[in-house]
Amino acid sequence: MLMPATVVSQESGDQHEETLLGTLGEDGGIILSDAAAYFSAPFRFTGGDWLTAAGAAGGTVLLMTVDDEMKGLLGSENTGSLNGDFWDIPTRYGLVGPANILSVVLYSSGLALDSRDVRVTGRLLFESLTLSGISVMAIRYIFGRSRPYDNNSPWDFNWFETANEVQSFPSGHTTVAFAMSTVFAERIGGVWARVGFYGLASMTAYARVRNNQHWVSDVVAGAGLGLLAGFHVVQRERMREQGELSGGLEIYPTLQGLQVVYRF
C-alpha cells in the first residue's frame, strides 16, 4: 500500500526539479538574448539614433571643458571614497559587490517563494548591473582618464591603462546606482518610488564629485550608462509580458542535458 505513494512522491519531485530547471533555463536564455540585443543595438541604429548618440558624446566633451571649474565649486578637501560622514551612505549604494549580492538574493527568494515578480526583479537587476558594468570596464580601459584627487588635469588620458588612478571615466559607483535605481523605480512604479530611487542615485553621483573621486563629466556619463542598461532590460521585459517580443535564444536544461533553441 505504500508503494504507490512512494512512486507519486518521486514523480512529484522529478516534476518540481524539471520545473526549476526550466525556469532557470528560461531566465538564462532571456539574459543572453537581452545582452545580445544590447550590444548589437548600434547595428540597428537609425539616423535619429546616431544623431542622439553623437549629441550625447558631444555633450560629454562639452562637460569636460568645465570639469576643473566644477571641481572647485563642488569638491571638498576629501580624497577618499569613504570619509565617515553622511555621504558614505550614497557612496555605499553604488558599490557593485553588494548590488550583485542583492540581485542574487532577490532572484533566489523569488524561486523559493514562487514569486515571479521578485524573481524577475532580481534577474533584471543582475542584467542591468552586468550590461552597464561591462560597458564601464571597457570604456575605462580605453580612455584611462586620471582621477581629480591628485590635482590632475581633466584632460589627462592614459590610454589602455588599468591602474585605479586612471579609471575615472566613467564613474562606476554612479553607473551601479542608476542601473539599480532604474530597475527598482520602474518595477515599483509611481512618483515617490522614482523620486526616491533616482534621488538616491543622484546623491551617489554628487558624493563621487564631492570626494574628488570623479569629474562631473564622469558621473554624468556613468548615470547615462546606468539608465541605458536599466531601461533596456525593463522595456524588453514589458514587451515580453505584452507578447510584443518574440524570438531570441532560449536554453532549456533537462535531466538529460541542455536543449538550446534560437527562434527567429
CATH classification at residue 251: 1.20.144
In this prediction, residue 17 carries a pLDDT of 62
In this prediction, residue 261 carries a pLDDT of 55
In this prediction, residue 2 carries a pLDDT of 46
**Sheet strands (E) in the chain:** 248-254, 257-263
Residues 6+ apart with CB under 8 A from 125: 99, 102, 103, 106, 180, 183, 184
Q: Which range of residues forms the domain containing residue 134?
A: 13-263
Residue 2 counted as domain residue: no
Predicted confidence (pLDDT) at residue 245 exceeds the cutoff of 90? no
Burial class (CB in 10 A: 0-12, 13-18, 19+), 54: exposed
Cite the DSSP H helix spans in 144-262: 172-188, 191-210, 216-241
Residue 1 counted as domain residue: no
In this prediction, residue 79 carries a pLDDT of 87
Residue 7 counted as domain residue: no
SS3 content of the chain, % helix, strand, coil (to 5): 70, 5, 20
Q: Which contacts of 257-263 are long-range, i.e. CB under 8 A and separated by 24 or more positions?
A: 258/25, 259/25
Residue 4 counted as domain residue: no
Predicted confidence (pLDDT) at residue 214 exceeds the cutoff of 70? yes
Question: What is the domain count for the chain?
Answer: 1
In this prediction, residue 264 carries a pLDDT of 42
Number of Cβ atoms within 10 Å of the Cβ of 62? 10
Instruction: Please state whether 160 falls in left (phi above 0), alpha (psi between -120 and 50) or beta.
Output: left
Is the CB of residue 105 less than 8 Å from the CB of residue 186?
Answer: no
Read off the pLDDT of each residue in 40-56 and give the average, rounded to a whole number: 96
What does the block give as the cell for 91? 557612496
Residue 230 counted as domain residue: yes
